[in-house]
A and B are shown apart, each in its own frame.
Chain A
Amino acid sequence: MKPEADQILMFSGLKLAAEYAPQIPTQYGQGMAQVVAALMFMSAQEYDRAADIRASENVDMRALFKLLAPQIADADLRRDLEAAAASREESLRISSLNASNEHLRKILIRLHAHLDETGADTRPVWDVLKAMAARRTLTLPG
């Protein structure tokens, strides 16, 4: 579709911030319109990257689980790591990717806590967390 949704959100946000918001008669209305415009800029960024972020995070977490599962003595955790590492996406819909992502994040938290408790090397987990945080960072128009 041309224009794509991200372009529509970006241009509409710019119009709202620069042209429409200043015409709102109250300070409260103007302030809230500026926040809504910022949300539109953020949504424009997210439109193009949302599926990629979630799919990439899920790939990274599964790879981490596959790497570390053999080192985990806790049988329940090791089994869950192996099962999660072998899982696959059912669909590329955001709702489906989110469901996988949340399941994998729960296991990631258990794995990280276990490594913390046993004094094991947590750098591989932090590498995944840093990549996750970097992907989700948003940029606002200057």
Chain B
Amino acid sequence: MSDDNLIERLETYLSNVMGIPDLEVANLSRIPGGASRETYRFRARYNRSGAEIERGLILRRDQTTSLIETERATEFRAYRAFHALGLPVPEPIALEEGSEILDRPFFVMEEIENCQVGSILSPDPYGPLREKIGRQFFANLGRIARADVDEVGLGDLEGERDPAKCWLHEVDRWEKVIDEDEREPQPIARAALRWLRRNPPPPAPKISVVHGDYRTGNFLYDTDGNMRAILDWEMAHLGNPLEDLGWAIDPLWSHGDPSRPAGTIPREEALSIWQKESGIKLDTAALAWWEIFASLKGLAIWISAAREYADGRNTDPVNAFSGWYCLAFHNKILADRLGGA
């Protein structure tokens, strides 16, 4: 089945799940949205209680192949949990895990309109808004870390609940990805894996929901510098909240100035805000371990991207960029950090 009648099929589906017989889908268009899901924006028009309603919605449909195998149900549940908690997260509307409706699994969520996303290709994506955005960025990450995993209904997410073992669970997870996907020997990644295993971090201060990809490019902000939506929860899992912090402050997302993580506020201010909002006292030695881990995790993701592209399974140019530029970047970071700059 082709995408020719995607609109009609989406209309039928949403009419049923939303209980709105006259729902119309209009202006369906694909937008950039990561390599693991196809992302479309559209307008849903319907009549409710005599009022004409038009609402912007987003369709996230599985690719025919995916960079990192992720569960769309996990992503959908994370949106639901943190939207309910009051974080800037789009409202999830419907989840369809079968392939009968749109050929592949998908979910639909609210579109956060009139916003933009910071590109890692930009040397200064936020301009004068960077400090305001940065404070929200690290405060919201702290709020994710603070959330009780059972109270938000995500206590059964994939991951390790033993605070002493969650680091090992993640190292094993990403080593497996490298084992399966490397097309050429990766001496720096292998050295980093050995270092991480030889120098285990202290137990996690708590088990949190780890967003898994909290960074520049995965949130929306408006022209007033308000952070409006945290996106791409597809790698959410249970684990050490320092995993997300290490990833968020990784130099790859710093737009050329590592002293201002995420291209926003000074590092010490970012960490201070995170500590205050998370309620977690930061262990700097532990964070240093998770920063090394973040770059290794990056390498694993980029190695997968390179494999997808080089094998011709997913020739999205984002995979070529990730598998080349980002891989080279994280190899340099790890070599300098572990080998002494």
Give the B-binding residues of A (Cβ under 8 A): 26-28, 31-32, 34-36, 38-39, 42, 98, 101-102, 105-106, 108-109, 112-113, 116, 123, 125-127, 129-130, 132-134, 136-138, 140, 142
Number of contacts between A and B (CB, 8 Å)? 98
Give the CA-CA distance A101 to B184 in the complex, in Å.
9
Q: Which residues of A contact B335 (CB under 8 A)?
A: 126, 129-130, 132-134
Give the CA-CA distance A102 to B182 in the complex, in Å.
12
Question: Are A109 and B320 neighbours in the complex by a CB distance under 8 Å?
Answer: no
Question: Are B29 and A130 neighbours in the complex by a CB distance under 8 Å?
Answer: no
Q: List 10 A-B contacts (CB under 8 A).
A: A27-B32, A32-B316, A39-B320, A102-B185, A109-B190, A113-B190, A127-B339, A129-B187, A132-B187, A137-B328
Closest chain B CB from A5 CB (angstroms): 17
Question: Are B320 and A28 neighbours in the complex by a CB distance under 8 Å?
Answer: no
Task: From known contacts A28-B30, A105-B184, A112-B190, infer whether A35 and B331 are also in contact, taking CB-CB under 8 Å.
Answer: no
Interface range on chain B (Cβ under 8 Å from partner): 20 to 34
Question: Are A28 and B325 neighbours in the complex by a CB distance under 8 Å?
Answer: no
B contacts with A: majority SS: helix
Q: Which residues of B contact A28 (CB under 8 A)?
A: 29-32
Question: Are A130 and B321 neighbours in the complex by a CB distance under 8 Å?
Answer: no
Question: Are B190 and A39 neighbours in the complex by a CB distance under 8 Å?
Answer: no
Q: Which residues of B contact A132 (CB under 8 A)?
A: 187-188, 331, 335
A117, closest chain B residue (CB): B194
Task: From known contacts A105-B185, A126-B340, infer whether A34 and B121 are also in contact, taking CB-CB under 8 Å.
Answer: yes
Partner among B29, B121, B317 whose Cβ is within 8 Å of the Cβ of A27: B29
Give the CA-CA distance A34 to B184 in the complex, in Å.
28
Give the CA-CA distance A38 to B123 in the complex, in Å.
14
Asked if B191 is at the interface of the complex by the 8 Å CB criterion, the answer is yes
Q: Which residues of B contact A136 (CB under 8 A)?
A: 328, 331-332
Question: Are B32 and A116 neighbours in the complex by a CB distance under 8 Å?
Answer: no
Question: Are B324 and A129 neighbours in the complex by a CB distance under 8 Å?
Answer: no
Question: Are B194 and A113 neighbours in the complex by a CB distance under 8 Å?
Answer: yes
A107, closest chain B residue (CB): B185
Closest 5 CB pairs of A and B: A126-B339, A105-B185, A31-B32, A133-B335, A28-B30
Give the A-binding residues of B (Cβ under 8 A): 29-32, 121, 123, 184-188, 190-191, 194, 198, 316-318, 320-321, 324-325, 328-329, 331-332, 334-336, 338-341
- A126-B339, A129-B188, A136-B328 known; 8 new pairs, CB 8 Å cut-off, are A31-B31, A35-B317, A112-B191, A116-B194, A126-B340, A132-B188, A133-B332, A137-B328
Q: Which residues of B contact A133 (CB under 8 A)?
A: 188, 328, 331-332, 334-336
Give the CA-CA distance A111 to B30 in the complex, in Å.
48
Partner among A38, A101, A109, A116 whose Cβ is within 8 Å of the Cβ of B121: A38
Closest chain A CB from B141 CB (angstroms): 25
B316, closest chain A residue (CB): A32
Give the CA-CA distance A39 to B341 in the complex, in Å.
28
Question: Are B185 and A109 neighbours in the complex by a CB distance under 8 Å?
Answer: yes
Question: Are A138 and B336 neighbours in the complex by a CB distance under 8 Å?
Answer: no
Give the CA-CA distance A132 to B327 in the complex, in Å.
13
Partner among A26, A101, A142 whose Cβ is within 8 Å of the Cβ of B123: A142
Task: From known contacts A42-B324, A129-B187, A140-B121, infer whether A32 and B332 are also in contact, taking CB-CB under 8 Å.
Answer: no
Give the CA-CA distance A21 to B34 in the complex, in Å.
19
Q: Which residues of B contact A34 (CB under 8 A)?
A: 121
Most chain B CB within 10 A, of A108, A109, A133, is at A133
Closest chain B CB from A11 CB (angstroms): 19
Closest chain B CB from A105 CB (angstroms): 4
B319, closest chain A residue (CB): A35
Closest chain A CB from B328 CB (angstroms): 5
Q: Which residues of B contact A98 (CB under 8 A)?
A: 184
Task: From known contacts A109-B187, A132-B335, infer whether A39 and B321 are also in contact, taking CB-CB under 8 Å.
Answer: yes
Q: Which residues of B contact A116 (CB under 8 A)?
A: 191, 194, 198
Question: Are B121 and A129 neighbours in the complex by a CB distance under 8 Å?
Answer: no
